[in-house]
Amino acid sequence: MSITEAILLAIVEGITEFLPVSSTGHMIIVSSLMGIASDPFTKTFTVAIQLGAILSVIVLYWNRFFQSWSFYFKLGVAFIPAAIFGLLLNDFIDRLLERVDVVAYALIAGGIVFLFIDKFFHKTEEKGTSEISYPVALKIGFFQTIALVPGVSRSAATIIGGLTQKLNKKTAAEFSFFLAVPTMFAATAYKLLKFYLEGNSLGSEELTLLAIGNLVAFLVAILAIKSFISFLTSHGFKIFGYYRIVLGITILVMYFLGIQLSIV
């Protein structure tokens, strides 16, 4: 992987990680077109640079992260379902991760849902609450388990989960960002551990690429989060629905044309 490729992947990560468009789907296309998707380090890199994205959330919402212990407990409660199901269904998830077509179908299905979700939750936006209780956090956590299916989008699943619990869009989106911190940290730690257990190691060149990737992902994610909250509250989900459908169809076309695609 070159520095340019690392920067491109980090930009994609920073933009898509917190948007309901599936970072996995984008990573498939970008890394495959660059011809580096099957490289073991690339697979680790695309997960490890999530740390930069995590840091962007902490920096943007610094006061929220240090306001009370209940905030951490609620995140912990919301994180539990994905942690449990992730461990129990690990083999099944690994098999799904070999299916690029599954990612495409999940993108399209989610896109169709997004075309109608604004109308469905219209009253919630008008009268929605900003208060998150422990039961609400747990229910959102169960929605996050749906994102164990590649292509669903963790952000999409948790935001929709929040809307079903009568949260307004802004609160649902922000809690999705907060929940990403423990979830993505755990995913990154697991990926790095697996990388080392498989006999791989990180040299100075790989560490440099990781440093650059995390920095770029951090800066881009800050811009993406700020823009997304503003756009979502003003325009809703429909544009993301159309985008997901187009992306899913693009992946399917590439897949059926025999273009080599690989989930990173």
Residue range 195-250, pLDDT digits in tens: 788 777 778 888 999 999 999 999 999 999 989 888 887 888 899 999 999 999 98
Q: What's the whole-number mean pLDDT along residues 21-35?
A: 80
pLDDT > 90? residue 136: yes
List, in order, residues 6 or more apart from 139 with CB less than 8 Å away. 161, 164, 165
Two tokens, residue 144:
């996050």
Strands (E), the chain: none
How sure is the predictor about 79, in pLDDT bands with cuts at 50, 70 and 90?
Answer: very high
Residues 168-207, buried b or exposed e (16+ Cβ, 10 A)? bbbbbbbbbbbbbbbbbeebbeebbeebeeeeeebeeebe
pLDDT > 90? residue 146: yes
What are the boundaries of each domain within the chain? 3-256
Q: How many residues are there in the chain?
A: 264
User: Phi/psi of residue 129, each to 5°?
Assistant: -100, 165
Per-residue pLDDT tens over the stretch 239-256: 999 999 999 998 899 888
Two tokens, residue 146:
């749906």
Q: Tokens 């920096």 label which residue?
A: 59
This prediction's pTM: 0.86
Question: Which of 72-76, 113-117, 200-204 comes out lowest in average pLDDT?
Answer: 200-204
The pLDDT score that the predictor gives to residue 262 is 63
Give SS3 for 195: helix
Q: Tokens 């995140």 label which residue?
A: 75
Give the burial class of 258: count Cβ atoms within 10 A of its Cβ; 0-12 exposed, 13-18 middle, 19 or more buried. exposed
Q: What's the whole-number mean pLDDT along residues 117-132?
A: 74
Q: Tokens 């992306």 label which residue?
A: 247
The pLDDT score that the predictor gives to residue 38 is 66
How sure is the predictor about 2, in pLDDT bands with cuts at 50, 70 and 90?
Answer: confident
pLDDT > 80? residue 16: yes
* CA dist., res. 208 & res. 23, Å (int): 23
Two tokens, residue 256:
């059926």
The pLDDT score that the predictor gives to residue 126 is 58
Instruction: Please report, as a single letter, which amino acid is at residue 254.
Output: M
pLDDT > 80? residue 133: yes
Instruction: Please report, as a single letter, which amino acid is at residue 61.
Output: Y
